Structure 1
Amino acid sequence: MAILQENIVRTGKPSRTAWRVATLRAAHQLLDEPIVLDDPIALPILGPNAAAELREDPFVYNDPASRGLRAAVVVRSRFAEDELARAVAAGVRQYIVLGAGLDTFAYRNPHKAAGLRMFEVDHLSTQQWKRECLKDAGIPIPEDLIFAPVDFEHGTLAQGLAEAGFRTDFPACFSWLGVTMYLTEAAILESLRFVASLPKLSSISFDYRVPASMLDPIQQAIGKLMAQRAAAVGEPWISAFDPVLLRQQLLQIGFSEAETCEPDELNRRYLHRRKDGLRSGGRIMCARV
């Protein structure tokens, strides 16, 4: 889809994976019924030309591999936003989207009246690209949103957020979606330790890969294909975790609880008895201080 690549090339070639995730989230609005993640910004943020092309033929993102990835993308976002709603109801007023890419939550924030402050954390180049996408789409940047540039491998989350005005004396809710597989275990754990150091009521939801040895043959084949696609665009998968060991690590570094959500649980919660057979193979961990 040439038009879908136009904005990437014009604005400096940031993450192609972020662009693909955004198009899958937009395709969900057109292809799937009922909608899991109701996102009126998903199509506009792609820009008028790309959105029009996707509307004309959304089925380009309906092959088996894209369907599975699309399901995982919308389920993990819905999970994170459900966790945020729980946190806001408990009094949390800071929300941080790590590795935000073209995430749209801040531009359709349902918690504005509660005074929610939002931070988008990503590479500076990706944030510059996103600003261009927003400008092209005519989407204003909310006053309660702050961009915090951070390179997880060469900088620290704590430093990046401090420079952006984040309050470590107040609790916060974090989402970290589609990122951990691209980072080293050391970088992942450093960021998780920072979240664990925050006040009670703080939490983080993130998805992660498991080792291939824990998957059945079909899942291994799908995982191999997705890994090859990521590597082909210069974004190789690096990390994978055993869910049991990961939960133990989270408790050891200071979280009071860690909820493991396997594919069966996520499908039961968000994709139960669908006529279209949409299923997610993703895994999510929610750790709370």
Structure 2
Amino acid sequence: MEQGQPSRTALSIALIRAVHQASPPPRLCDDPLAAAISGVPLGEVTAAHENWIPEQLHPWILARFQVAEDAIAAAAATGTRQLVILGAGLDTFAYRNPHPDLVVFEVDHPSTQAWKRERLRAADIEVPPSVCFVPADFEDRRWDEALDPVGFDRTAPTIFLCLGVVMYLTRPATLNLLSRTAALDAPTHLILDYTDPSAAQPAHRRAVGDAVLSEVADQGEPWQCFFTPPELTRELEALGYDEITDATVPEVLTRYGFTPTPDHDVFSGHITHATRR
């Protein structure tokens, strides 16, 4: 992301979600606020508005949000009362939150967060009292201290949501982010997505993946951090996460009734749910 500018990727993803709402059920995710926050009326949203993200990646982008919202619902049902969305972008969960006792902390780069708040006002989307905005830069090793002044309880069960973030950070910043989520004196859930490094992907995928990565870099938001599943598992276990499940793109799409093809998994993507008891 360019200094002083909002995230282009955040807008692209909001538009993808908005377009998807015009699809007939069953949908990979439901987001009635996506069109409003994107700034494009639902009746006028078309594929042309979806910016640079290739169409074959859209099902994965959409389904990972449903994985997250299912995990949030399960955590809330068992007593978790804090959700921290890391790199919230234009995510709208906090403004349609169905869990009355769940406080949502949106952590994001100050530029992106200021831009989002303007979009919320322009779209007349109500910000409920359960939402706390936390401007922070994940390249700052002590980013999590920004949670404390807005009422975050480090002794309370918490779920951290980190979608579309890891790949944009440096590896040291990513490992620090993971470490900070594991520092609570309370049960903790962590949901995050990531991709395999190019060298670990099948040869037939590399050319397409590298082309998309080049386009991302041209947008000013290059991908910098990758993991293989064993690498990420080792890092999480070292931090005390003792229940770790990892799902691939085909597994997730199949779970939600979508028939995947190889084109839907350009980067060998994964979503992980890690728990510390």
Q: What TM-score do you get using the length of structure 2 for normalisation?
A: 0.90
Aligned twin of 1:94:
82
**Structure 2 gaps, min length 5:** none
What CA deviation, in whole Å up to 9, does each residue of 1:49-89 have, x standing for no partner? x225xx33523368996332211211111111111111111
1:36 corresponds to 2:23: no
Q: What corresponds to 1:181 in structure 2?
A: 167
Mapped to 1, the partners of 2:122 and 2:143 lie a distance apart of 29
Structure 1 match to 2:41: 51
Superposition RMSD in Å: 2.4
Q: Please show how residues 43-192 of structure 1 align to structure 2 within 5 Å.
A: 43-47=35-39, 50-51=40-41, 55-56=43-44, 58-60=46-48, 66-112=54-100, 115-192=101-178
* 1:186 alignment partner AA: P
Contact 2:162 2:190 in 1 (8 A): yes
Q: Aligned partners of 2:227 and 2:31: how far apart in 1?
A: 30
Change (3 A) 1:65 1:190: closer
- Contact between 1:156 and 1:191, CA under 8 Å: does it hold in 2? no
Contact 2:21 2:31 in 1 (8 A): yes
Letter in 2 for 1:92: T
Partner amino acid for 1:264?
A: P
Q: Residues 245 and 278 of structure 1: is their aligned pair in 2 closer, same or farther, counting only changes over 3 Å? A: closer
CA contact (8 A) 2:15 2:50 kept: no
- Give the whole-Å Cα distance in 1 for the aligned partners of 2:33 and 2:118: 15
- The worse-fitting range, judged by mean Cα deviation, of 211-220 and 233-242 is 211-220
Compare 160-169 and 36-45 and name the one that shifted more.
160-169
Residue of structure 1 equivalent to 2:272: 285
Paired residue type of 1:184: T
* Aligned-pair CA distance for 1:199: 3.9
Give the aligned partner of residue 8 of structure 1: none
More helix by share: 1
Find the partner of 1:240 among 226, 230, 247. Answer: 226
TM-score between both structures, scaled by the size of structure 1 = 0.86
C-alpha contact 1:205 1:286 (8 A) present in aligned 2: yes
Identity of aligned residues (%): 39
- Relative distance call for 1:65 and 1:228 in structure 2 (3 A) is same
Contact 2:155–2:186 at 8 Å: present in 1 too? no
SS in 2 for 1:258: strand
**2:57–2:264 contact (8 Å) kept in structure 1:** no
Distance 1:31 1:59 in 2: 12
The total of aligned residue pairs comes to 271
Question: Closer, same or farther in 2 for the Cα pair 1:182/1:28, shift >3 Å?
Answer: same
